[in-house]
């Protein structure tokens, strides 16, 4: 909105030309989202506390977590509000990719909100059924995949990191591939959200990484120089990435150990989905496995644990899954697990950025 306003009056005020640049608007979006999180954070925490919307802690979880029972949850409302408002203020609203990304984010926000609402407010322990959540996730991702497949100028070739000449064309199968990326990212982030600040830290790192890739992929000359797939118009996704990073930092202020608020499914599901659809739009789908490698590790630990448990009739690979609980039960303090996982996320992000030249 502000972008269009300044664009209309820039002829009379030459200094407003700076708002034409994606880089400057990305900074503005980041600071806007950060400010909204800072300003509204205490109010959201106070409101959730008054309404007794507190975290339920499983009896089977680590003993140290029992003290967290009652901590306000559904803080994802604050994160997504910060992202959506700052994005709408600073992006080009005529850009189709922006609306596609916001559609996916809003859809997964609705799924997470409904699940948390049933559990926290209606006191229905199970919330949405696992099957119900999956059906809606696949449906929303499928709609997004179909739209982007049909969008003129968007190709269905997949970029393989470190290999500049290997670009398989999936054709119509790209829709299923997009579903896998979006749904997989959403649930991987959801599984990671188990310790104070554990999920939002790597999400912020991943968003900052895709901020770079969205910019270079949407810039014809830079994309050609780096031998990346040029996607006209996807540069605007840089601004959403900036908003996610800003909102993430703002939320981390309150979510850092010991947490004053948790994000809940209303935060983790849409944040993962946003990373997934941004990876699709920027043609860096496979790279998400590296950028979000920490989320992959957490998800794989659950898959391996469940599969091995069923195959061996009760034996386990890890002391507890997801992986962060395994290290807790090995005696690592929670704060140490969190910071070390953040370090892993940063290292993986740096490796991902290196693919810009190592091709």
CA atoms within 13 A on the CB side of 319: 11
pLDDT digits (tens, 9 = 90+) for 137-157: 999 999 999 999 999 888 888
Calculate the alpha carbon distances from 309 to 208, 297, 319, 320 in Å. 37, 18, 12, 11
Query: What are the residue ranges in the chain where pLDDT is below 50?
Result: none
d(CA 96, CA 77): 24
pLDDT at 16: 61
> What's the distance, CA 186 to chain centroid?
7
pLDDT at 321: 83
pLDDT at 210: 97
d(CA 71, CA 48): 9
pLDDT at 50: 85
pLDDT at 162: 76
Given phi > 0 = left and psi -120 to 50 = alpha, else beta, which region is 161? beta
Q: Which residue carries 């997989």 as its tokens?
A: 184
Calculate the alpha carbon distances from 244 to 27, 85, 155, 164 in Å. 12, 11, 26, 29
Is residue 135 within 8 Å of residue 148, measured between CB atoms?
A: no
Residue ranges of the domains in the chain?
Answer: 2-354
Residue 95: helix, strand or coil by DSSP? coil
């Amino acid at each position: 909105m502000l972008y269009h306003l300044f664009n209309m009056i820039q002829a009379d005020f030459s200094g407003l030309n700076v708002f034409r640049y994606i880089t400057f608007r990305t900074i503005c979006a980041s600071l806007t989202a950060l400010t909204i999180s800072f300003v509204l954070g205490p109010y959201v925490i106070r409101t959730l506390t008054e309404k007794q919307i507190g975290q339920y802690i499983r009896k089977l979880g680590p003993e140290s977590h029992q003290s967290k029972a009652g901590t306000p949850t559904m803080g994802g409302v604050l994160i997504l509000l910060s992202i959506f408002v700052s994005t709408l203020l600073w992006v080009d609203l005529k850009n189709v990719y922006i609306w596609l990304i916001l559609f996916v984010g809003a859809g997964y926000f609705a799924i997470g909100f409904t699940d948390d609402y049933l559990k926290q407010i209606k006191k229905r322990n199970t919330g949405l059924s696992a099957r119900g959540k999956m059906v809606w996730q696949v449906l929303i991702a499928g709609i997004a995949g179909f739209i982007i497949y049909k969008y003129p100028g968007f190709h269905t070739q997949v970029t393989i990191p470190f290999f500049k000449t290997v670009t398989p064309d999936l054709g119509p199968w790209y829709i299923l591939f997009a579903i896998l990326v979006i749904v997989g990212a959403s649930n991987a982030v959801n599984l990671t959200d188990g310790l104070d600040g554990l999920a939002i830290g790597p999400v912020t790192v991943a968003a900052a990484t895709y901020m770079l890739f969205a910019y270079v992929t949407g810039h014809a000359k830079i994309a050609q120089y780096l031998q990346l797939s040029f996607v006209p118009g996807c540069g605007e996704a840089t601004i959403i990435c900036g908003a996610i990073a800003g909102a993430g930092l703002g939320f981390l202020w309150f979510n850092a150990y010991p947490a004053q608020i948790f994000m809940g499914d209303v935060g983790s599901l849409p944040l993962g989905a946003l990373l997934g659809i941004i990876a699709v739009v920027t043609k860096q789908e496979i790279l998400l496995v590296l950028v979000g490698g920490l989320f992959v590790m957490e998800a794989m630990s659950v898959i391996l644990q469940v599969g091995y448990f069923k195959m061996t009739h009760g034996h386990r690979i890890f002391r507890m899954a997801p992986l962060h609980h395994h290290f807790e039960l090995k005696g690592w303090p929670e704060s140490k697990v969190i910071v070390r996982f953040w370090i892993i996320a940063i290292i993986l992000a740096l490796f991902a950025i290196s693919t810009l030249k190592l091709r």
